[in-house]
Structures are given as C-alpha cells and as structure tokens.
C-alpha cells in the first residue's frame, strides 16, 4: 500500500546552486547526498519537516542529460513510499499498467525502487520506493 509522497525529484544544471536556492529561500536542510550507481549523476535530498526534494545533476550522457537538454531541467518524477514494492508491482501488472521496471532495483543505500512508465500516469514519471530493502 502506498503510504505518502516520499519526495519530488528535480533535475538541475548546477546542484550547488540549487541546494543554495532551496536552503536560502525556504530553509530546507541537506538530508542526504548520493551518487548514481555508475556515477552518472549526483543527487542531494533537501528536507524541511516532512517535505523532501531530490535535486539531481547529471554527470554523464544518458536519460538525465537528455531531459536537461530538452527541458532545461525541472520536475523529473514523483516518488511514492510503499511498504511492499513487490505487491505494488504485482497489482500494477495485473491491471496491465506499463512499467519501466518489472522488478525493483536495489540502490546503494539499501532501498528498493521501481518506475512506472509516464504514459500510465498522465505523462508523469512515478517512482515507487521501499525504504531499507
């Protein structure tokens, strides 16, 4: 079952500038810094109470750099927290929903994630996340 919005992800050109903007404008604090699995991006989670925004700067050619080139940055995906990612994926498959990930990906911090294709959600990329594997 989905629990809440975990975070909103935004692709940015300059992560340091973006972090500075969010911290100075609204009082967000840096909660976490991460590198992509192949060092293809760097990301920083900024948080204010229970509001979490993931700022992502692409470092290597790929889908994130194409997103940045085509759109100039901006909203990339909405992430929903679940307590059972396998069950969520099973339910979506049973409904015939188009998925990017049929099985969850394990990420370095121990979480598991999977993406729902934007065509299934009014052109919004949806990420499902289960904390702690």
Q: Which pLDDT band holds residue 37 (cuts at 50, 70, 90)?
A: confident
The total of structural domains in the chain comes to 1
Q: Which pLDDT band holds residue 10 (cuts at 50, 70, 90)?
A: very high
Full domain range(s) for residue 114: 2-130
Q: Which pLDDT band holds residue 33 (cuts at 50, 70, 90)?
A: very high
- Greater confidence (39 vs 97) lies with 97
Q: How far apart, in Å, do the first and last CA atoms of the chain sit?
A: 16
What pLDDT does residue 133 have? 55
- Beta strands across the sheet bearing 105-106: 29-35, 41-48, 51-58, 2-11, 74-82, 126-130, 112-116, 105-106
The secondary structure of 89-116, three-state, reads HHHHHHCCCCECCCCCEECCCCCEEEEE
Question: What's the pLDDT tens digit per position in 71-85?
Answer: 999 999 999 999 999
pTM for this entry: 0.90
In this structure, what CATH number is given to the domain that contains residue 30? 3.10.180.10
């Amino acid at each position: 079952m989905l629990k809440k919005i975990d975070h909103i992800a935004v692709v940015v050109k300059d992560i340091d500038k973006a972090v500075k903007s969010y911290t100075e404008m609204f009082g967000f604090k840096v909660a976490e810094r991460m590198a992509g699995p192949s060092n293809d991006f760097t990301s920083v989670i900024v948080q204010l109470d229970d509001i979490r925004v993931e700022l992502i700067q692409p470092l290597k050619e790929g889908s994130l750099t194409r997103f940045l080139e085509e759109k100039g940055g901006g909203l990339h995906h909405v992430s929903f927290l679940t307590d059972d990612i396998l069950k969520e994926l099973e339910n979506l498959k049973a409904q015939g929903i188009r998925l990017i990930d049929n099985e969850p990906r394990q990420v370095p911090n121990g979480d598991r994630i999977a993406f729902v294709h934007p065509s299934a959600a009014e052109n919004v990329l949806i990420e499902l996340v289960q904390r702690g594997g």
